[in-house]
Amino acid sequence: MSDDPFADDAAQSARTRETILRYHLSWKRRDLDAVLALYHPDIEYNDFYQQRCMRLGELRHYVESNLPRQPGEVLEHLDRIRIDGHTAFIQYRTSLQGGAGLVSFRTGESITVRDGLIWRINEYATLVREAGHAGEPASARPAISRLGLSPRQLGQLAHDLQDYFQRSQAFLDPGLDLQQVATATGYSRNQISHLLNQVLGESFYRYVNRARLQHLLDGLRAGSDQGRVDELAFAAGFNSLSAFYKCFRERMGMTPRAYLKQFSARARRQDSD
């Protein structure tokens, strides 16, 4: 052992950094066996979001379900990896698609290394809604779930849900319900409801109506009159004009008539230019 404790600390930090970088690279490469090989036989993985404490025998399924699904898919780190002796501190963000505003999980990990292997992981998550979500100010709160989905998996669920609507345009069916979406996507009703209500902050029908409105807006053309917009609303899956007008005002901050007037005026200015 060196007479200089600072030199010993620096050496240990360097060894810890080497293990953590190997761990990070194994995640990035989606190499399940390489990730598991870096876990100490006595590892304790505390996922405070799901209120779970996992040992080595439970981690294969957990890691496999949380690995990136596509090559090149990376986490958005909020800070550099910080090392202090045996422990590394990592912060990253998982942004969720589909919310009325920007919603993300900010996750922190404290990883302790022993004998060159990962011995302890403490992971926690904070749910962040940026300013502008449903007209509310920015907010952040500790996040807890017992549904068996981590923040990364909820991010995947949000992506899958949005991708399903874009591909199938199931929202065009005015009778679409939560069970149909759950069956089509392979998730449970409870998982989808938790994502929408507790994470994205909106009901299933509000989420679906926003998809309908976006479809309608994509189809609008300059010169459309009020009657035409009503027809498009029903064609987009709205089952009542009152629901359509409410959704439109919440999203656009004006009535369809005012929007079309503004849209037409902008188009005329562009033509004159």
Residue-level pLDDT at 42: 98
Q: Measured between alpha carbons, how far is 251 from 92 in angstroms, rounded to an integer?
A: 30
- For residue 161, being part of any structural domain is answered with no
Please give the share of the chain, as a percent, with pLDDT higher than 70: 84
- Mean pLDDT highest for which of 140-154, 182-196, 218-232? 182-196
Full-model pTM = 0.82
Q: 79: helix, coil or strand? A: coil
Please give the share of the chain, as a percent, with pLDDT higher than 90: 60
Render pLDDT for 159-209 as a digit per residue (tens, 0 to 9): 999 999 999 999 999 999 999 999 999 999 999 999 999 888 889 999 999
What is the number of structural domains in the chain? 1
- For residue 19, being part of any structural domain is answered with yes
- For residue 130, being part of any structural domain is answered with yes
Residue-level pLDDT at 16: 97
Residues with Cβ within 8 Å of 273's Cβ and at least 6 positions away in sequence, in order, are none
Print the domain residue range for 70: 5-147
Render pLDDT for 69-125 as a digit per residue (tens, 0 to 9): 877 677 788 888 999 999 999 999 988 866 556 788 999 999 999 999 999 999 999
The per-residue pLDDT of the chain, averaged, comes to: 87
The residue among 216, 221, 149 whose CA lies nearest residue 187 is 149
The residue among 157, 159, 154, 138 whose CA lies nearest residue 49 is 154
- For residue 154, being part of any structural domain is answered with no
Query: Is the model's pLDDT at 19 over the cut of 50?
Result: yes
CATH, residue 15: 3.10.450.50
- For residue 232, being part of any structural domain is answered with no
Residue-level pLDDT at 134: 46
- For residue 33, being part of any structural domain is answered with yes
- For residue 26, being part of any structural domain is answered with yes
- For residue 10, being part of any structural domain is answered with yes
